[in-house]
Copies of this chain bind each other. A is one copy, B any other.
Amino acid sequence: MENIKIAILGHGNVGGGTCEILSQNMQLISERIDKKILVSYILVSDTKKTRKWPTLGAKLTDNFEEILNSDVQIVVEVLGGIEPASSYMEDALKTGKHVVTANKAALAANYPILTKAAKDSGVSLLFEASVGGGIPALSAILGNLRGNRFSEVSGILNGTTNYILTKMGSEALAYDDVLKSAQELGFAEADPTADVEGIDAANKLSILMALCFDKYVHPDDIPRKGISHITLDDIKSAKSQGKKIKLLGTARLKDAIHLSQNAENAKLADKASEIEYFVEPVSIDDSHPLFNVDNEYNGILIRGNAVEDVMMYGKGAGPLPTGSAVVGDILKIAENL
């Protein structure tokens, strides 16, 4: 059985979850793709530290150059943060290595550079885990749904804020109180800014837009409102009207219509080049497909001119759900090697 050699950059939650899945499901995976995934290197900052997650016999190194100069075929970047992650990915791609990443911040900030580097080298850059954790939404957009002209992509893209908004509603607690308990439970970071101000959601929306509309917008240029100003009264007022407040990242054609309307109108859709996009709290009622996506779950709604509405729901974070998406991308590349 052929070995596919990979390196994993980072061994925190996502890198660890990826290793755990590769460890536990390796036999099954090998049977499915008829190849064996061999983790040759794991890049860590401290090679001496005791590891919480399996290392799969990999060499632990703190030197990225060693990986770059090795014979690994796939580099899995799960460091988080924009740098040095972006530079590592660009270097790996330019060296002819395929790249899998879960890093929405790096990808959204440097999407044009990274996708160009992949194209120029004729290698793959896959990033399912960067949006919606384990939910296979990007694979669907680039895969079975690609016969569609997309008119909208909208999602609950951040689990922390969805958890906070859900708990404010279900337990009638103020924002600050829920945030505090979320931090204690590990559902929110000590510095929650990136989540609660919609920065994380904007990174993910930037990636979704690039795929659905072939239009790249830097996340800083996406109009953005967070949830820190949402009061318990806002939540109660929405609830009294049968609504919920959700932090949505949305990009849509202004004049979207479906194929199911007449052909004359459908022609118009070709010309509707104007896309509106934003991250903001929105009141939605129970007719909205994302109404019941609660707690730490993520949900992504995709509208296409043929498929109409497709909604996908699942765990948007966590070592194993996110690792599932990373492993899926690794297997896709490995299979085609």
Interface size on A, residues (CB 8 A): 56
Interface presence of A50 (CB below 8 A) = no
Bound complex: CA A24 to CA B260 (Å) = 11
Interface presence of A143 (CB below 8 A) = yes
Do A145 and B307 form a contact, CB below 8 Å, given A140-B139, A266-B24? Answer: no
Q: Mark A307-337, 1 if CB is under 8 A from B, else 0.
A: 1111111110010110111011111100000
Interface presence of A289 (CB below 8 A) = yes
Asked if A309 contacts B305 (CB within 8 A), the reply is no
Do A24 and B305 form a contact, CB below 8 Å, given A146-B331, A311-B314, A314-B310? Answer: yes
Which of A135, A147, A258, A328 has the most B CB atoms < 10 Å from its CB? A147
Shortest distance from the beta carbon of A246 to any chain B beta carbon, whole Å: 15
Asked if A25 contacts B305 (CB within 8 A), the reply is yes
Asked if A146 contacts B328 (CB within 8 A), the reply is yes
Interface presence of A28 (CB below 8 A) = yes
Do A307 and B291 form a contact, CB below 8 Å, given A140-B140, A144-B328, A147-B21? Answer: no
Interface presence of A219 (CB below 8 A) = no
Interface presence of A116 (CB below 8 A) = no
A10-43: which residues lie under 8 A (CB-CB) from chain B? 17, 20-22, 24-25, 28-29, 32-33
Q: Which residues of B contact A292 (CB under 8 A)?
A: 286, 291-292
Q: Which residues of B contact A135 (CB under 8 A)?
A: 310
Bound complex: CA A147 to CA B263 (Å) = 42
Q: Mark A190-233, 1 if CB is under 8 A from B, else 0.
A: 00000000000000000000000000000000000000000000
Shortest distance from the beta carbon of A192 to any chain B beta carbon, whole Å: 24
Bound complex: CA A33 to CA B321 (Å) = 30
Asked if B308 contacts A149 (CB within 8 A), the reply is no
Asked if A324 contacts B143 (CB within 8 A), the reply is no
Q: Which residues of B contact A136 (CB under 8 A)?
A: 140, 143-145, 310
Of chain B, the residue at the smallest CB distance from A328 is B144
Bound complex: CA A330 to CA B144 (Å) = 9
The 6 A-B residue pairs whose C-beta atoms are closest, nearest first, are A147-B327, A144-B328, A134-B307, A136-B144, A307-B324, A306-B324
